Amino acid sequence: SQKIEQNSEALNIQEGKTATLTCNYTNYSPAYLQWYRQDPGRGPVFLLLIRENEKEKRKERLKVTFDTTLKQSLFHITASQPADSATYLCALEATGFQKLVFGTGTRLLVSP
Amino acid sequence: GAGVSQTPSNKVTEKGKYVELRCDPISGHTALYWYRQSLGQGPEFLIYFQGTGAADDSGLPNDRFFAVRPEGSVSTLKIQRTERGDSAVYLCASSLRLLAGGPSEQFFGPGTRLTVL
């Protein structure tokens, strides 16, 4: 069956360090992979999208990699700040299917 | 600029009752999505509208769930004979899908927290 795995344990890091979050998937061939941020009591907010033929995408302090051979995406936040503390969700989308299939999310805690 | 809005923000109902949840998408967004999110889980797809028509309703769990978007803007998710297991946050999202088969950056509303007692 299709499965998207994100580390269910919270990731605790020190301010200024790089946070790396992992998204692994099986039995799925996504055309696009997206990362969203979700704060408590709020809806997810889009951060980055990467296509299956792209290896890496950057936006300010954020970087996403996409390895379709390993079936894995890594999400990096450099120079992390306490304001980056939130749950980060990866979501897959297959061509023509429109809907997003989400992972369970990883909670990131950045300590001052 | 207004984002996606959802009403009510909270809804408490009794088992067996009927509920309606409303979504106002971003103006001009042709695509509208409903998701359901349980505690500690990611959003789970329910239904997708392109314009007025339901293009994909494969995520609706059973025939107690129904959604409409009669004028291609506001959408209502309707749940009949609610059950305790329906308790969750119901999220609505909209997107401006420019290309058929292209990716959808989705803009989410704050959700409606439904509690079925």
Q: Could you report the per-residue pLDDT of A67-102, keeping only the tens digit for each?
A: 999 999 999 999 999 999 999 999 998 766 678 999
Three-state secondary-structure class, residue A38: strand
Residue A36 has pLDDT above 90, yes or no: yes
> Which pLDDT score, from 0 to 100, does residue A7 have?
86
- Interface subset of A 52-81, CB within 8 angstroms of B: none
Residue B99 has pLDDT above 70, yes or no: no
Contact A98 B48 (CB under 8 A): yes
pLDDT tens figures, A49-64: 999 899 999 999 999 9
pLDDT tens figures, B5-16: 999 999 999 999
Please report which confidence band the pLDDT of residue B103 belongs to, taking 50, 70 and 90 as the band edges.
confident
Mean of the pLDDT values across residues B66-79?
Answer: 96
Mean of the pLDDT values across residues B3-26?
Answer: 97
Contact B48 A32 (CB under 8 A): no
- Tell which phi-psi region holds residue B81, choosing left (phi > 0), alpha (psi between -120 and 50) or beta: left
DSSP structure string for B68-104: E-TTSS-EEEEE-S--GGG-EEEEEEEE---STT---
Report how far residue A90's alpha carbon sits from residue A26's, in angstroms, rounded to the nearest whole number.
14
Residue A105 token pair: 């999310």
Report how far residue B101's alpha carbon sits from residue B81's, in angstroms, rounded to the nearest whole number.
36
Q: Which residues of A touch B59 (CB under 8 A)?
A: 99
Contact A46 B110 (CB under 8 A): no
